[in-house]
């Protein structure tokens, strides 16, 4: 009994730390934007510093395992581009136009997008409770979206919202398509390989679109914020969440992840000075409540 409780407690701590670390990514990105850096450069720096960590992860998980087939490599390439390169770049680009708290709420809709893709592609059944949970969550997002439109320029807020929502769609495609490859390669090996692909894509994108000399004009704050983003908010939470899933299961780890939006809002208010209004509070409650209903009834 004591060992089981210790395992449960350790798993919950890891899940909470992973959720908070993930949520800190948006805060760091918003801080870096204050120093005049653009999304192409910022995401390249994040992926450049994270590349050795993910390559090491892929190597470690692949020790003693069969070599990847051509089909495996094509799958890893597609999943890396969709799930980590496109999803990350669109997210970074969208954060230039909307608040960190709103970005986290949009990304939190991810399970509903996975369900919709499952229904479209595989005709998987959708229950009434799941539909109700989706309706509640999207109502909350629309509520906060209306507040974002009032806070700034309508076109900018709408563009940022679209970019982040496309990021969520891109990551949902990764989740839907990764099932077969997780069984074949294992989750840790697949994540390591797919994120390595994404890192290389971001570096190539920068080399094609920006002069290398611009790196020497960046503020020092951008560099250390990127290191922090690559380690504390990228590699560390991936490992923490995967270790949590091993101890407490995916369902409980996902429920614990509900602390993510709340921690983003808190850090946004304290660190970034973002306003916290009744509209944001109401929207957040609706999104979290809707996802709770959605995930609980969909097990």
User: Residues 6 or more apart from 151 whose CB is under 8 A from it?
Assistant: 99, 157, 275
Mapped onto helix, strand or coil, the DSSP state of residue 21 is helix
Does 9 fall in a domain? Answer: no
Domain membership flag for residue 104: yes
8 in any annotated domain: no
Euclidean distance between CA atoms 165 and 162, whole angstroms: 5
The answer to whether residue 193 sits within a structural domain is yes
- Domain hosting 168: range is 17-297
Would residue 7 count as lying in a domain?
Answer: no
**Can you give the pLDDT at residue 129?**
84
**Torsion over CA of 248, 199, 232 and 253, rounded to 10 degrees?**
-20
Our count of domains for the chain comes to: 1
pLDDT tens over the chain, length 299 residues: 566 666 667 777 887 888 888 888 899 999 999 998 999 999 999 999 999 989 998 999 888 888 888 888 998 999 899 888 999 999 999 999 988 888 888 988 888 888 888 787 777 777 888 888 888 888 988 888 887 777 656 778 889 899 999 999 998 888 888 777 877 888 788 888 999 999 999 999 999 999 998 898 999 999 999 999 998 888 888 777 777 766 776 556 666 767 777 888 888 888 988 888 888 888 888 888 888 787 765 54
- Domain membership of residue 1 (yes or no) is no
pLDDT at residue 221, rounded to an integer: 93
Do the domain assignments include residue 214? yes
With respect to residue 12, please indicate whether it lies within any of the assigned structural domains.
no
């Amino acid at each position: 009994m004591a060992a089981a409780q210790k395992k449960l407690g350790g798993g919950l701590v890891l899940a909470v730390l992973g959720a908070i670390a993930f949520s800190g990514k948006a805060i760091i990105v918003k801080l870096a934007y204050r120093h005049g850096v653009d999304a192409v450069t910022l995401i390249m720096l994040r992926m450049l510093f994270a590349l050795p960590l993910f390559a090491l992860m892929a190597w470690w998980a692949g020790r003693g395992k069969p070599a990847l087939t051509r089909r495996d490599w094509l799958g890893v390439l597609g999943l890396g581009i969709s799930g980590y390169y496109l999803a990350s770049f669109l997210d970074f680009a969208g954060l230039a136009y909307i608040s960190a708290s709103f970005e986290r709420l949009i990304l939190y809709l991810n399970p509903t997008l996975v369900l919709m893709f499952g229904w479209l592609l595989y005709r998987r059944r959708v229950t009434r409770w799941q539909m109700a949970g989706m309706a509640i969550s999207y109502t909350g997002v629309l509520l906060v979206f209306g507040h974002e439109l009032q806070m700034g320029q309508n076109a900018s807020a709408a563009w940022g919202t679209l970019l982040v929502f496309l990021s969520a769609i891109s990551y949902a495609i990764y989740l839907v398509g990764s099932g077969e490859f997780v069984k074949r390669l294992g989750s840790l090996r697949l994540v390591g390989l797919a994120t390595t692909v994404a890192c290389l894509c971001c570096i190539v994108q920068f080399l094609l679109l920006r002069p290398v000399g611009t790196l020497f004009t960046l503020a020092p704050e951008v560099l250390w914020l990127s290191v922090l983003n690559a380690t504390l908010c990228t590699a560390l939470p991936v490992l923490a969440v995967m270790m949590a899933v091993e101890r407490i299961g995916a369902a409980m780890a996902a429920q614990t992840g509900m602390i993510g939006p709340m921690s983003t809002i808190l850090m946004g208010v304290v660190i970034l000075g973002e306003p916290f209004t009744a509209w944001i509070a109401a929207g957040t409650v609706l999104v979290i409540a809707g996802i709770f209903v959605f995930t609980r009834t969909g097990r």
